[in-house]
Structures are given as structure tokens and as C-alpha cells.
A and B are shown apart, each in its own frame.
Chain A
């Protein structure tokens, strides 16, 4: 029982790291990045390519994954999302184009990784890090679980504090409320958008590397599954709310682990979809979301 709770918490932290950046970008600069899953996977994959040749310690692998994720995300913002937002006639059309463009771009890293790995799962077995497990009596905790838990909750707390208290964080939230007025108040929208995308990509890369260490190996297609689960977590908690993502990720992971333990697990993939649909019907703003007025 305690072991299941710990596993659910670890899974929840991985969902949290992944969904945090997505929720941040969606809630503030209005970018729902469908390529987030691909960035996550490709960062982990690039780290795999490096580790295969050079036996690196875990810190270096994580740093590399974070850098690749951030670089890809910024590149995506500059090459695709910025031109779309500049050219689109209105907000609604820009949203749609960003979503479709993200879906298209997401195919590219996936195709490269599938081609190079022949769709065989990849891992970091050549690295210097090895998983050790401590038996605490009532539960077995591995070092990678500990790292995941600490970084996920630490970073969620840090970002939550930054959005609430730091001046750039306030400016970013102001963009989320009204981007035009924020610009008039002297907020540099472009710079903050790039920063947000870099943070989101870095978090995705971090989640990718940690997941690969945790599971031993991941397949290139893992990104798509994570993307839809992150949606469920974000919708459950409310778009743009950090506390919401934390709760959403943990609840999703909790339900999934519960179903996996008590049944044969064939319904597990449906939980995320069911949650998205149910939440959108009953409370589209999520548990912690802002109320939004829409007239038509």
C-alpha cells in the first residue's frame, strides 16, 4: 500500500514536471504547445546519444537534457509560434494555428528518433549512474525516485513563488490577463514569452531524462502519451494555476495507480481522457482556474 502511494507520487511528479511548463505557457502567453511531448522525448533521446559515447554522471545528463529541451522550445517559439501570433488576424485563429502547427512540428523529432532507434526503446545504461534502492521498512525508495520527487516539488514551489512575488513573474501573469494592457505598462512580451518557452522546454527535458532513468528505457512514442496525460492534469487543476497542476498531476497519477493495482490495467489509458471530458463538462476552468466570461 505504502509502496503504491510512493509510486503514484513519483509518477505524479513526472507528470507535474511535464505539465508545469505546458500549463505555464498556455495560461500566460496563450500557447498550447502540442510539440511539448516531442521536445520531452527528443531531449531524453539526445542525452541518450551522448551517454552512448561518453559515460557521463547523472548531473551532466540532466543538464544536457534540460539544455536541449530549452533550446528546442525556444527554436519552436521563434520559428513557428511567433510568426503565427504576428500574422494571425485574431486570437482565436492564432490559437488554432498554434495547435495545428504544434501537431505538425511534433512529428519531426518523433520521425527522427524513430528512424535512428528503429522504434526500439532507449536508455542510459552506458552512463555512470546506477539505481540504488533503500529499504525503509515500510517502503522501498530508490535514489532516482528521491531526485524526481525533490526536483518536481521544489521546482513547482519555486515557479509558483516566482509568479507570485518576482517582478517578471507578475509581468508574465499580467500578459495572461490582458496582453495588450500589459504591453502598454511596459512589459516586454516577446522576451518573457521566450523565457517562458525556455523554462517550459527545460522542464520537459528534465522530465524526459528523469523518466528514462526511472523506467530504465523509454520508446520514442512516449511523448504523445505524456502529452494527453498532461492535458488531463492541467484541465483538472485549471489552466495557468501552479497549485492546480500539482493537484491535477497527483490526482491523475493516484487514480491511474489505483486502477492499475486493482484491475488488469486495460482501462488505464481511458482515465486521462475521461477526466478531461468530465472536467470540461462540469467545471471547464478546473479546480483552481480563473473564471472566464464567454458570451457565445
Chain B
């Protein structure tokens, strides 16, 4: 009944009062009030009056409110159809075109604490296409879409060499990619060199990471390293270049080297973010990855920022997402305890100002 009433009033203002508020940039506020209207956070503070007709949710002091987590690389809702090996260079491919909001994995993800995901093409093509940022709301794509072309996905991995067409070797791959980036008339050049969209490059080995860093220097692209399993061995070069690294999903069974990577990189000043890489992991696993990283040396603040404001910065969408501040999108999650305590559960999720998940009473 209450849920139904909430649904009816979703177009109107929502006020969250109390609990511990993690702004997302490291700041903590206790007992603050958040006013949400028209899909955005209108105000945050102590002296905020709830407007007439607003839904007021009073939180217990033990509750924690965090910005909705951002998954920096996922194939959620794509029915495991992220790889379309139509050619080595497919910049017009667009991840959102393969996304269906009415899939079970998308529905399940609404209660995960992740509110925003960067959908990505797979690693079958050197230039796989556009990564699209969508919100895990309750509508179809036109409501969910935050940015159809937020970043570009590139692959220096083995997957791009096994498609029965060019390239068949890392050398061939690099030559093709360089030609494409140099071609001022190409879509790849337009997105990465002119528009400076982030280039998420799948680069597993030290060699691949070095080549990616080289492309960055040569073409001035905004590099983000993905699946950088060898980042430990290139940490100084990565840190010197100021290139962010996206990690995860981490699991309990990963080796120590993998689990310590987040702490190691962050300790060197490298900006990090997390990815579920669904269907490899699940959206729920994003937070678990952060928890495991904290257990192995990453600071709690750094872990939370990696999933919120830091992730938004990596995507270049920090003016819109990543913190709970006036003017930002109303994407936030209420936990019944500290968000990095494994025992904490999601109580409520607001995405784009709409309550998309609410834990039903026992």
C-alpha cells in the first residue's frame, strides 16, 4: 500500500531525513535532509523544509545514504550479446542498441546499490564502439539513457585477434589502430581525438598497457585502462601518466596480487574505478569488489569514491553524477549500515528521482 502510494507520488518531491550521508567526495554529514525534485537533488542540509505533498522518509540513525554506485564496465541487459565481430573497427556500434531494460538481470540489478552503468561492447573488435551510460530505472531506454556515447571501447586483447579477419597479430592490431586514430575523417578520430571521449582500452599485459600509454601520448586520447591485470608491473608509468584504471569484478577466490591491486594503485595516486563486467560478475558484486579491495589495503573513503565521484570523473560525467549535492542527479541508495560492511543491505534505491527499489517489510 505504502509502496503503491509512493509510486503514485514519484513525480513529486521526496525528502530523506536522517542517517549518515556520504556525499561521495569524502565528506560525511550526519542527520542531514535531502530534498529531491524533478529527478535531481534540489538541496542538502539541516534546515530544509519538506514541501507540501512531498513524500518524507525518515531514516534511522544507523542508516547510510550513498550516491548510487557507478559500474564502469558492464554488459548488463545485453543477453550476453556484447561481441559483434562485424569488423576490426566499428566505432558506430553502440552498446545501448543492444540493451533491453525488460530483462531479468536488469530488474535484479535495481536493488544492487548500482544506479548507473557504463554499458560496453565486448573485446572482439579493436574499436568496439560506443559505451553508453544508462540509469537502472524502471522505464524503457529513452528514460534510462544518460549518455548514448559516453566513451569508446577499444581492445588490445587477444579476443580481437581471433575473429578470422584482420588483424591476426598484436602488431597488425596496433598498425590498424594507429591508422584509424590518425585518420582525421574517421569516427574513431572524431570521438577520441576531437571530442576527447574517454577511451576504455582492454589492455591485460604490460606490453598492451605500454602500447595504450603510447597511443595516449601520441594522439592525446583520454585513456582509461581496463582489465589491466599487469597494472602492478606498470604502476609507475600509469601513475606518471595520470591514467585511471578500472578493476574487477573481484572475488574471494582471486589471488592476493589481484586483490591488492586497487590498494597499490590508489596508494600511488592512480584514480581507480570498479566494474562488474556482467555477465562475468553481477551488479551486486561491484560493492563486494570494493569490500575485498578494502580488506586488501584500499582505504574505505577511496573505495567509496571509486564507486561514486571518482567513477563519474573517469566517465567525464562528474557534473551530473557521483555525489549527493544540489544540482546532481537524484541517484542514491539507502543502506541499513555502512555501505562497505558485508552485512549491510540495500533498503531503498532512488534512481533519477524515482524510487526503483524498496525492501519489503518482513
A binds B: no
Residues of B that sit less than 8 Å from A by CB: none
